[in-house]
Structure 1
Amino acid sequence: MMLQTIVFAAARSRAHGPTAALWHAVELHRPAAEVDGACELTLCGALARVSPEQQWPVAAFDVCPACVPLAR
């Protein structure tokens, strides 16, 4: 039996109208170097730009409340 580790990257969404930019979680299915700065679909369904220099979970207050439980 093979054990698969799920790796999450941090991604920053853009402020959109009245909503603020938030940090989201993205499940990586390829090396982080391949998604450097690319927009990806987050766990909550938003599009956000991956920030490989940031680790998930992000130590910030502006974190997506929907991504937090999904990334556990």
Structure 2
Amino acid sequence: MMLQTTLYAAARSRAHGPTAALWHAVEVHRPPAEVDGACELSLCGSLARVSTEQAWPVAARDVCPVCVLLTRC
């Protein structure tokens, strides 16, 4: 039996108009060196730039509530 774990990286979106920049969760299927600084699709569907300096969940107030909910499932 193979145990599969899901890993998430923290990613920062850009502010657009009235929307603030938020931290999002990105499901990682590659080594961190391959995703560092890349824009990826987050769990909630936003494009966000992956940051290997931050671990998910991020200890911040500006975190996407949808990504938080989806990572708890």
Q: TM-score scaled by structure 2?
A: 0.96
Query: What's the offset of the Cα at 1:9?
Result: 0.2
Aligned to 2:67: 67
The gaps in structure 2 that reach 5 residues or longer are none
Structure 1 unpaired stretches of 5+: none
Name the amino acid aligned to 1:54. Q
TM-score between both structures, scaled by the size of structure 1: 0.98
RMSD value, Cα: 0.5
Q: Which runs of 4+ in 1 moved over 3 A?
A: none
Aligned residue pairs: how many?
A: 72
Render the CA deviation track for 1:18-63: whole Å, top value 9, x for unaligned.
Answer: 0000000000011111101000000000000000110000000000
